[in-house]
Structure 1
């Protein structure tokens, strides 16, 4: 009976304490609701302020995220001090400091991606809509947040890459410049006048719309191949992969037409070894099976 009386007394005390805490809980919930509206309003203001600047899109997203995070941290701290009046901001920070090590080990990957996301957004390179290649994944950057980056691959699939992967691995930014150099191997037969062949190949670039006119076209004799003398042909075009593929097709067709019109042969490769006389056939007899 003594234990039951003690349990009843403790339960009544807890209920009375909870009832006494209800006004504080209501105020804390109201503070969190106000924090939500305030964070949304502050992000809109930050959006309008950054819209009139030449700030990169990734930096705009970083500013919005930091503004929202700062307001939510302040709102949660105020709500916590209302629910627990004995708690002060100093004691709250001390408690966070004590648990920081445990939280750090538990959420190591999350914090790593968070810090990598901040550093990626602060980079001057790799903007939104850039086409990049990292670890065999090639695509357009659609969005960068504090945890992952959205890459729309050239085949249409959406890939979510952890920011730590972009921060630790080499990243090729294919559209960092407006123009990229492309190249093609063109082989001509050994009985061709090489100077004439170079002149004909160069004339194939005249009038091509997507080849950069202010950049030189390079034509270099590269090597003696098995059935041809190869020229390395280089030109500049728009950096987007689709533009490069279209321009490469245009260049290849034009070179083929010009060489055909000049009577210059593009030889087929042939086998460099010759076959010797076939080995004589031998009769193969089945082994005799003894009774």
Structure 2
């Protein structure tokens, strides 16, 4: 059905060449492609005579494609127009206006007829008719958009047609109102059918479900059509605030238009008006509901404290071996979850519809998410630190370009106290994105030290002295055994590695004590500690006497 207008109207395009003879002579071959396309459309129209079914539909689609090619060529000519060829281009644009005007009238009739057929058809035929109606309506809206483009072309060419342009704007305004009303009606039908299905008997559900599917498709088509016309109306300068708000309320889709100040203000105003009306109608029961609200909140605050204590005991069990950050997270999230549930229950008890509230939270969440991208990155890194536990509170770490003792951890940042008692607050994203070195994670550490002696000193005596120093120190562990080995023959010294094992908290005490004792014992035992030196040999050369 939707292609019949194309067959009838494209035939009129064959007169373009005759009308063009009255215009000034164009440059050679400047309009050749458009004229060729017109001839091809005329041939296709002749071929379509007498054909039906699929063959006719294929020819119709070919004709539509060629008209799109004509419009593309017109756009190119308009972009590079000259004074000489402008009258001829205006003629082609006016032909398009006449054609599309007839097409719009025809398609409007077809949409009305198909809607009437849909209302009177049986259930088995409705799906087919509905699909045809959707395709025809979409094509109708597309033609309206192309018609508006034609008037934009005329303004560029210096020949605006304000009367026909105003008629199209009025038609779009009427279309907006019609589609808005239709969407409201179809949406009510869909909601009513959804409610009936829940309470219907099994033998009735099959028929109701088919009707519900039809209603869903009808609403989806209404939303698609209204969104297209709203976009077109915005280009025309028509106020579409109410229609944009309706699309958001019905579909829940977040578009750029919903962020417009006027639309947001309208949504807020409607919410305030609804709240005022509700308050006026429910004043006698409002105070009692408020009392119930406060009681529920109070009870759930008690539940929150009880939950926090229970979770605190559970996560403090030594068998779980949780990090302090994970303990704090579970304790906090458990209490806050209980309180949020209480707030939602309290809100539902006072009769507040939670769907708009949750929708508002969703919109606010998207906006806040864009505004707090860095914070969310820190939060995600905090979750990774919580899961993998590379360090805990009171650990000494090197992370995020800093080193010190971890004094506090949250899901956003980590507080590190440096060895000279400075407090550094480091974002978790910087810590997680860098190498993390946990110095105190293990209970036992090895102290790595190197001591050099001179080449003339006794190696065995040195080994015995080093062994005695480690054996006498009370903080050096006997297991694992310390390692004392001659390591490197350096340029100025013979180096020994000394590697005792100690408790992590004794690391620096052992390091400093052993270093001090090595110096003192080497001095008493006559073992030298060389410093870098270099022997220089001078050879004297006698000068030959003549």
Q: Structure 2 length as normaliser, TM-score?
A: 0.42
Could you tell me whether the CA contact under 8 Å between 1:178 and 1:238 is conserved in 2? yes
- Residue pairs, 1:96-115, within 5 angstroms: 96-115=361-380
1:67-123, Cα deviation, whole Å (9 max, x unpaired):
02212322333344456x3513x5544443344332211122333333333332233
- Residue pairs, 1:163-182, within 5 angstroms: 163-182=428-447
Secondary structure at 2:500 match in 1? strand
Could you tell me whether the CA contact under 8 Å between 1:140 and 1:154 is conserved in 2? yes
**Superposed CA RMSD:** 3.4
Could you tell me whether the CA contact under 8 Å between 2:485 and 2:497 is conserved in 1? yes
Could you tell me whether the CA contact under 8 Å between 1:117 and 1:148 is conserved in 2? yes
Could you tell me whether the CA contact under 8 Å between 2:325 and 2:409 is conserved in 1? yes
- Residue pairs, 1:172-251, within 5 angstroms: 172-240=437-505, 243-251=506-514
Secondary structure at 1:38 match in 2? helix
Give the Cα separation in 1 of the matches to 2:293 and 2:372.
Answer: 27
- The structural deviation recorded for 1:64 is 0.4
Greater C-alpha Rg: 2
Could you tell me whether the CA contact under 8 Å between 1:201 and 1:259 is conserved in 2? no
Give the Cα separation in 1 of the matches to 2:475 and 2:454.
Answer: 29
Secondary structure at 1:205 match in 2? helix
Structure 1 residue 67 and structure 2 residue 330: aligned?
A: no
Secondary structure at 2:497 match in 1? strand
Structure 1 residue 269 and structure 2 residue 532: aligned?
A: yes
Match of 1:131 in 2: 396
1:114-160, Cα deviation, whole Å (9 max, x unpaired):
33333322335423322221133222333333322232333333332
When residues 248 and 258 of structure 1 are mapped into structure 2, their CA distance, relative to the original with a 3 A threshold, is same
Give the Cα separation in 2 of the matches to 1:29 and 1:160.
Answer: 39
Q: Which has the higher helix share?
A: 2
Structure 1 residue 43 and structure 2 residue 308: aligned?
A: yes
Could you tell me whether the CA contact under 8 Å between 2:391 and 2:438 is conserved in 1? yes
Q: Structure 1 length as normaliser, TM-score?
A: 0.74
Q: Which runs of 5+ in 1 are unaligned?
A: 1-9, 275-291
- The structural deviation recorded for 1:210 is 1.1
Q: Which has the higher strand share?
A: 1
Match of 2:522 in 1: 259
